[in-house]
Structure formats: C-alpha cells, structure tokens
Amino acid sequence: MSSLFSSATLFLIGAPFLVSVIGLSGLQSSPQKMRRLSLAAAGLAFLSALVLAVGVVHQGTVDQIWGIIGNPSSFHFSVGVYVDRLSLLSVLLITSIGFVVQKYSVRYLDGDQRQGRFFTWLSFVLFSVTLFVISRNLLALTLSWFLVSSGVHRLLLHFPERESAQKAAWRKFVISRIGDTALVAALVLTYTVFGTFEFRDIFEIVRTHGAWDPISVLGWSLNPAALVGSLYVIGAMTKSAQFPFHIWLPDTMETPTPVSALMHAGIINAGGFLIVRLSPIVSHASFALHVLFAVGAVTAFFGGLIYLVQTDIKRSLAFSTIGQMGYMMMQCGLGAFSAAVLHVVMHGFYKANAFLSAAGNIDHSPFIPKTGGESKKLPPLSKFPAALISMALLVGSVVLMKVDLAQKPGGFFLAIFLWVASTQFIGTALSVKGSFKSISSLSMLTFLGMCVYWTALDGIGAFLAPVLDPEGLEPMVTELSPVLVTIVGFIFVIAYLLVEVARSQPDQKWARKWYVLCLNHFYIEQIWQKMVSKVLGRSRLMPSFETMAIQKKYRNQQLKSQDKEEILCLPKTLKRQEER
C-alpha cells in the first residue's frame, strides 16, 4: 500500500507539472493537444487525491522524503511531501475545482488563439498550489508561494493588449512583493531561531521549548517566536486580500472566468492555510493574532459594503470574496482554526460555482434595474420579524446540538454571523409575502442548516485534532478580551441594521453620501496610487476600474463617431470617383 501512496503523490504533482513543461517546450501552439493533456492531468491529479485520502484516513500522515540536500550536521533541507489531514482537505478542494475548471475551460476558450498558452499556465498554477499545501518544509512552501504568484501573473495577462489586464497584473505584482518580502524575512528568521526548515522539527521545538530569550530589533526587545509569527501574518494578509492589501483582487476579474473560479482553490485562501499550518508558531504571536482579528473585521465590513453597490457581477463576487476572507481571518485571529478551515472549504466550492455559473445568472441578477415604474421602498424595520425568527432558530439549534459557545473558540462570534446570515435569508422570503406554509418550510430549512453547521464544525474539529494539537497552542480566545469580541460583534449587527435602513430609504442625504463612498471604494485605490507613484515616480500607475471603464467608453464613442462620418462621406467619395 505504501508504494501505491507514493505513486499517488508523484502523480498528484507530477502530472500537472509535466503538462506545463510540455506546453512551455512548444506544444502550447497546438491548442487541441494541450487542452486534452491538461484535462487528463487534472483528472489524474484528482484521482490521486482520492487515493491519498484513503491512505491518510486509514494509515495516518503520508510523510515521504525523497532526498536531503546539504550537510545533515549543518545547513540542510529535505525534498519530499507531507500530507496530513489539513493538507488532505486542501488537496481535495484544489484538485476537484481544478478538474472542473479545466473541463469548463475547454468550451469557454474554444476558438481562442491563446488557449494553448492558457492551459499551459493553468496546469502550472494547479501544480504550484498543490505543492504549496503538501510541502514538507518552509523552504518548499516559500518556493511554491512564488511559483503560484508567477503562474497567476501569466494568467492575468492572457489578454495582454488590454490596458485593464496590464494594470491588474501590475497591482497584483506590487502587493505580492510586499507579501514575499515578509515571507522571506520570516523564513530567514525561522531558520535563525529554530535551526531548521522542517515542519515537524519546528513544531516539536515550539511545544517543548520554555520561555524564549528576547532579541533586540531596532531597539525593541521582542519574542523571536512572536516576531516570526507576525511576519507570517503579514504575508497571509497580502495573499488573502486583507485590507488594505485587497486592491489587487477585484481587478483580477479581467482574466478569463475559469481563472476567477480557480482563485478560490487554494490561491486567494492561501493566507488562511498558511496561518492554520503554522498555528503552533503563530499562536505565540498573540498581538499579531489580535491585529489579524481587527484587520479581518475591517475587511469583512469593507468588502460587504462595497459588494452592495457593484453593478458588475464578477466584481460583486470579488468583493464578496474579500468580505468572506476577512471573516476567515477573524476566525484565525480568534484561534478558531478548525472553523477557518471549514469556511475555506465551503466558500471555495460555493464561490467557484458562482463564478462558473455567473453568465447564466445575469438575467436574474438583482443588480439589473427594473423598468416601467419606481422601485418599491420597504419600511426600515421590515427585517425585524426575520431577526426574531432567526434568533429563535439559532437558540433552538444551540440547545438541540448542545453547543457550548463559551468553550468553543470564537463561538459567540460564529453565532452572531450565523444569525445575521439567516436573518437576511428569511427576510428576503418575508419581503415577497410568501404563504405561511412556505415561510414555515423555509424556517425549518434554515434550522436544519444551522444544525448541520454545528455538526460540521464539531466534525472538522475532531478530524483536524491530530494536526491542531490543543496542547501545543495557547488559548487565544482567553487572551483576546471577550468584551472586545462582543463590541465588534455588536458593531456588525448595528452596521447591518444601518445598511437595511439605507436600502429602504435611499433618498436620504446620508445614505447617498455612503453610497458614493462605497462606489469609490472609500478612495483606498487613490491612496495606493499616490503612495506607489511617490516611490516609483510614475503618475499613471494603478488607475481605478471606473476610470478605465469611462476612458474605454469614451474611446468607443469616438471610434463610432468616426465610423459614422466615414459612412456618411462614402456616397460623396464614390460620386467623385465616378465623375473622375
């Protein structure tokens, strides 16, 4: 059986890598062959992931060392793979979405002259992301981090003639370099502090080591383990589009839609995986986790507000992702690592499906304005009955499932978000004035969903228990003030109520001002533009999406007017030629 699992790990990363090498060697000029090879490699990788799932569940972690580079008595690192239960969940997410995306891309890019190049880099990204989650040490993880950024950059430039694609790639490049700097600094400091790159050795040192001797950095005495964890937190914030590093994600919608779906298979949520994988180290950086909780809260609030005013369906999904990644980082900041993993898996599948089915949902989009009358204004407290129903259902699910919110990391905060989500769900049904039977059925369905969520949360916590060793982690929930968590939770509730009031009374002056702020993304992009311009000395870096859309519309109008003038002048030109 061990030979079978060894072969599975080789096929898992070898098949997509081999296809990308073949494509870069020249076969990308043959799109028919490239897409067949790419699809076959993605299918083989998914089957290999299923085989590894059997091995991990029944025999434990698959830890393979293919070789050691360097002197074992001094500087050295291993070459191999490390597939535990955390890696397994990520691999299944990546390979399943990757295979669907590859299959979808066959029809989506049919006839595109660059489809051979597209499938080459798509396979390369699939290989890089898979290597990232099964890396055996920090050196391989950092290398695969760079490879993912490089592959995504090539996919963003699938339409290099588009100015918006160039700007999107440039934004991603700038933000990625900030994260890369933090990650490289953390890598060097990790080896300095622990003397190894291997995950198992580092985690064992963290668990058995006593108090750390502080080191002096720029005159500050810092805990070395806490400093390492803080640098990894910064890197995770850039990769998972946390405020204010979020500006790169919305503009990546310029790439073909399959790439937008693939982004949710280990790319945009790579920051969350990094935090959970290094949770024994990050747990020593309590201040960094507090900051991560605060930044995640701001990101969730920011992404949710801007999502409400978007008229482009793909960009609305992008800002929804920003908000969801903020929520995931809040869970990491609270120490609810198993809840964060559950969120990553559920959101990855849901949002990938949302992108791939976006075109079919345009006709039913709520963003399409209705014609033939004024929009119906709902009273400000129209969601109050839904809030009461949701609260009753939430309390009932907690009592029935015997959930101890006080003992569960981030339990009260998870309950608040579950209540807000169900209020929105039930409130939408109440607004259309459905029958009592339909409302009752919907309420029962919501209650069942809550029970399933609590069950899944306990299940994934038990599944990941061998990886997230509670004895090796500090109780972050007790360190983070419960009062602060409660205040942040109430801020979200109040913000939700204000949004509902603004949507019911859009003609109010204060509502219009907030609408303008959200429409301009609170001018964060302009601030970034000025900062980067001062550093690089260029004035037209990173223009906003709206500015480019206006410029494009203006250029199209000019071209149409020129074509019209040429058509009008054509009869006169022909008449002159006949007279000659």
The amino acid at residue 378 is L
Report whether pLDDT(329) > 70: yes
Report whether pLDDT(16) > 90: yes
Cis-peptide, bond into residue 244, ω within 30° of zero: yes
Q: What is the DSSP letter of 69?
A: E
Per the prediction, the chain carries an average pLDDT of 80
Report whether pLDDT(73) > 80: no
Position 507 scores a pLDDT of: 77
**Cα(260)–Cα(320) distance, integer angstroms:** 13
Nearest 5 degrees, angle CA 181-CA 182-CA 183? Answer: 90
Report whether pLDDT(80) > 60: yes
Cβ atoms of 122 and 101 closer than 8 Å: yes
pLDDT of 207-254, one tens digit each?
777 556 677 666 677 777 778 888 888 889 988 889 888 888 888 877
Position 90 scores a pLDDT of: 92
pLDDT-derived band at 91 (thresholds 50, 70, 90) equals: very high
208 CB neighbour count, 10 Å cutoff: 8
Cβ atoms of 255 and 156 closer than 8 Å: yes
The residues, any chain, with a CB within 8 Å of residue 490's CB and separated by 6 or more, are none
The residues, any chain, with a CB within 8 Å of residue 90's CB and separated by 6 or more, are 133, 266, 273, 344
Position 158 scores a pLDDT of: 87
Long-range pairs for 498-504: beta carbons < 8 A, 24 or more residues apart: 499/305, 499/308, 500/380, 500/382, 500/383, 501/380, 503/308, 503/378, 504/377, 504/378, 504/379, 504/380, 504/382
Tokens (6 digits) for 484:
């602060």
pLDDT of 554-567, one tens digit each?
455 555 555 544 45
The amino acid at residue 454 is W
Report whether pLDDT(100) > 90: yes
Tokens (6 digits) for 383:
């969601």
For residue 76, the SS3 value is strand
Most confident of 387-401, 465-479, 538-552: 387-401
Percent of the chain with pLDDT over 90: 19
Report whether pLDDT(62) > 80: yes
**Cα(494)–Cα(489) distance, integer angstroms:** 9
pLDDT of 376-428, one tens digit each?
455 555 567 888 888 899 999 999 988 888 777 777 778 888 888 888 778 77
Mean pLDDT (whole number) for 323-328 = 90
Percent of the chain with pLDDT over 70: 80
Burial class (CB in 10 A: 0-12, 13-18, 19+), 345: middle
Report whether pLDDT(540) > 50: no
First to last CA, the chain: 89
pLDDT of 40-49, one tens digit each?
999 999 999 9
Position 370 scores a pLDDT of: 43
254 vs 33 pLDDT, higher one: 33
